[in-house]
Structure 1
């Protein structure tokens, strides 16, 4: 990022601190800020989640499952996932105009690749009738606030939203002797099924490189001071699904094994913690539904 956001003195101070293993907020190099997670925060969606890291980066993700026709140019036995990410104009005072558009496009491409190419979702099970109809999962994310580490926060919120999502069951029947098939969508929320393959969804771990050292979960100020970033997608089974480098600086080839190992270790901890928080949220939602309460968009947890 352009360091024009901060003074040269502050830039040098933060870089020297990172090289010495000292961060402005007192965290260790691999420490993540605490985060808040809430599920089922958008009404009339198939699933949704909101994730806020510290008191900064705040992302809302909604998932909508809709029946659509299978395009002849697409695989005939698969469903699809379509992603869109937008940053609120109020997400950061340092983002405006073309910068927001570029970031929207960058995040949308990242999320599309993460879910379609490496995400673990079984697209084959989203097919209803081959060559005819399938489920399309529309994943829409809104960045409400930005204070660094967007990739990691985006994947955390997306994984939680897809875990929360449910897809209606369908009944398929033959319509004639010519082999044509038709289907009916069962309008029963209790009978809806979870997204197939959700247990294999990866998380993103972004490691930021500066002056021979690296840190995880960089704040926006820290991001302005690093030389390069490495984002690693790691699934719950510990497999590295993809690696993406960003920013203009270089990362020595000799440290890549250490960075990948560190990302895998951090991901194992994050997967465990996120799963635990999702399960806690699910129990809370079930309890409130039995009591007749309705989930609201702006949970008091985030106010």
Structure 2
């Protein structure tokens, strides 16, 4: 009977639970799903991680290559994040070029790196004006069950902390590039951004770590990124209305 009610009137079904400050899966409004983190899961990458939030699973791999810096920024390297949401992780996504959600997520991850300064581009410089590192950060969603945003941020940070780069030198006489794989250096991580995604239901109920069903029924979704307990950025994909929390505070 409950299954039929959930299928026929999913929003009303959820509303009955949320009014009692609990969710159909048994979690409280501020309770996250169980989290599993595996570091160094891809042996061919310079750094990698695998993160699970409930059934949501994201793998992050970092590959490094050498390049010339920009003329206007001779002492800065590059970080290129990419989020992949394929049909293999959910029937919601189509084959072909990256969809809108994947593009928005890739841009969001670039902003997290930039605003949190967790990895500074100056640290990727080998020879100013001549040689820098490019870090390709690929985040692949293996199973999509909501809140891929927080999963990507945690997977990114874990992969950064797992990354080691070989020592690279440029011969002054021949200008040849010498890569010393026996001398590895860990990537310096300056800060630890933390992401928390909230779903908003009926414009007055707020809960964290939404599943894909909860995202589909929510009025909006809001992601808050903090660094050392200080606000770093707020991400609002789509329209999010003003929300009044039970404490009387407001989020816009």
Q: Which bin holds the TM-score, normalised by the shorter protein?
A: 0.7 to 0.9
1:185 aligns to 2:179 (yes or no) = yes
**Comparing both structures, which one devotes a greater share of its residues to helix?**
1
Structure with more relative contact order (C-alpha pairs < 8 Å, separation 6 or more): 1
Q: Give the deviation of 1:183 after TM superposition.
A: 4.9
Per-residue CA shift, 1:203-245, capped at 9, x if unaligned?
A: 211111223121010111111111112111112x222211111
For the residues of structure 2 that align with 1:100 and 1:129, how far apart are their CA atoms? 34
Give the equivalent residue in structure 1 for 2:198: 207
Give the equivalent residue in structure 2 for 1:163: 161
Task: Out of 248-257 and 150-159, give the one that drifted further.
Answer: 248-257
Q: Give the deviation of 1:8 after TM superposition.
A: 5.6
For the residues of structure 1 that align with 2:157 and 2:26, how far apart are their CA atoms? 29
CA contact (8 A) 1:68 1:135 kept: yes
Give the equivalent residue in structure 1 for 2:27: 27
Give the equivalent residue in structure 2 for 1:111: 109
SS in 2 for 1:187: strand
Give the equivalent residue in structure 1 for 2:187: 195
TM-score (norm 2): 0.87
Aligned residues: 245
SS in 2 for 1:84: strand
SS in 2 for 1:106: helix
Give the equivalent residue in structure 2 for 1:284: none
SS in 1 for 2:116: coil
Unpaired stretches in structure 2, ≥5 consecutive residues:
1-5
TM-aligned CA distance change 1:251 to 1:220, over 3 Å? same
1:241 aligns to 2:235 (yes or no) = no
TM-score (norm 1): 0.73
**Comparing both structures, which one devotes a greater share of its residues to strand?**
2
Per-residue CA shift, 1:64-104, capped at 9, x if unaligned?
A: 121111132x5211111001111131211233358961222
Aligned partner (choices 152, 169, 178) of residue 150 of structure 2: 152
For the residues of structure 1 that align with 2:142 and 2:117, how far apart are their CA atoms? 24
Per-residue CA shift, 1:17-46, capped at 9, x if unaligned?
A: 224312011111111111211121212210
Give the equivalent residue in structure 1 for 2:53: 53
CA contact (8 A) 2:86 2:94 kept: no
SS in 2 for 1:24: coil
Give the equivalent residue in structure 1 for 2:89: 91
1:14 aligns to 2:14 (yes or no) = yes
Per-residue CA shift, 1:282-301, capped at 9, x if unaligned?
A: xxxxxxxxxxxxxxxxxxxx
Per-residue CA shift, 1:120-165, capped at 9, x if unaligned?
A: 2121111111111101111011111000111001111111111111
CA contact (8 A) 2:194 2:225 kept: yes
Q: Alpha carbon RMSD of aligned pairs, Å?
A: 2.6
For the residues of structure 1 that align with 2:193 and 2:68, how far apart are their CA atoms? 28
Aligned partner (choices 136, 141, 145) of residue 138 of structure 1: 136
SS in 2 for 1:144: strand
